[in-house]
Amino acid sequence: MSSTVMSGNHEDQQMSALEETRTSLCDEFASISGSDSAVAQYYLAENEWDMERALNSFFEAHMDSVFDVEDAEETKDVSGNKRKGMNSSDTADTSGTKKKFKTDKVDCIDLTAEEPTCSSSVTVNVKNSQAESAVTESDAEDGKFSIISWNVDGLDTLSLAERARGLCSYLVLYTPDVVFLQELIPSYIQYLKKRAVSYLFVEGSDDGYFTAIMLKKSRIKLLESEIICYPTTQMLRNLLVAQVTFSGQKLYLMTSHLESCKNQSEERMKQLRVIFQKMKEAPEDSTVIFAGDTNLRDTEVVQVGGLPPGVCDVWEQLGKQEHCRYTWDTKANSNKTVPYISRCRFDRIFLRSAKTGPGVTPDHMVLVGMEKLDCGRYTSDHWGIYCTFNT
């Protein structure tokens, strides 16, 4: 065989490898950004096939003006015109009872009060007083600690302003002490900051898409925060940690959005190991709560050696209640049009109670966001988790 032929074969192999690499990058870009392969190819080529630069360019071009129409409508609404919030709809509470949220009288959700309440903006009808007390008593008792964890799907810009108002409706209704959010974009978090002024925001980044932790100022004091990078992430993921105090107790609050897609199992398990290690390293006098979109399959938890000693999966600890098992459910949630049914427990809460001093125990869990908005979509393609703890 001549050297010319061998050289030609080598060049063909190089071109084939380059094409395969770039196709993979396009698929990954499209998955992260929610765009198609043509858009992915354009932004990657414009940015010399650098994934991070391409994503940042995409977000800057498409996301900054997501709420421009919303802000313009707000200006008009000063005259008193009202806008609708969520439709009346049913959702299950932990007792299995259906509760009904009637919000057709809601105008723009405003969280500017230091202690937002749901009485002026959301009417809650329940079929018995026990179901009502399951939610409201947790906020009334100072000894209870409450959280919401939610992947809000900020990368999906369809009806995003109305979906953000939907999130605000739940913050008004449940008044959680801490909110763990994943898949935020800059315009989304700026929208929240204008409305949820009773919360302090700790952010995992300031561009692209990222996580954040919201802390109710009247109940939580922030001591310090840090961002822990995942060295081999291909999807801009990290671990956000906030050290806080609540009623004199020390808490380590953590959130993350672990690597997505089935074929990223190895990277996802690496990231889970980082989380578990940080939970184990936290001081013994501190309670550690991780809440976020883990994208985990149960077999992956087993493969990393299971939960560390002293760490529990809150859903399992509360009896593995079926009504709040699936946080990603394409059978019930129509925001994503996929040709298959997928029901997974992607969103999870892990707890390591303080080893010395007062402890924290799980009390109550329910899924939120199961009501369609007036736009015909849900607040997110994930259900959120509302959870309370005894302290």
- Any idea which residues carry the catalytic annotation? 293
Backbone φ, ψ for residue 4 (5° rounding): -65, -45
Residues 6+ apart with CB under 8 A from 230: 237, 238, 239, 259, 267, 270, 271, 274
In contact, 157 and 38? CB cutoff 8 Å: no
**Residue pointed to by tokens 């309440």:** 117
How crowded is residue 207: how many other Cβ atoms within 10 Å of its Cβ? 14
What is the DSSP secondary structure assignment for residue 258, as one 8-state letter?
P
Backbone φ, ψ for residue 308 (5° rounding): -65, 155
Cα 108 to its chain centre, rounded Å, is: 22
Residue 208 is encoded by which pair of tokens? Answer: 């692209």
In contact, 294 and 307? CB cutoff 8 Å: no
- Torsion over CA of 275, 282, 216 and 176, rounded to 10 degrees? 60
Report the amino acid identity of residue 226: E
**H helices within 79-216, ranges in order?**
129-140, 160-174, 186-195
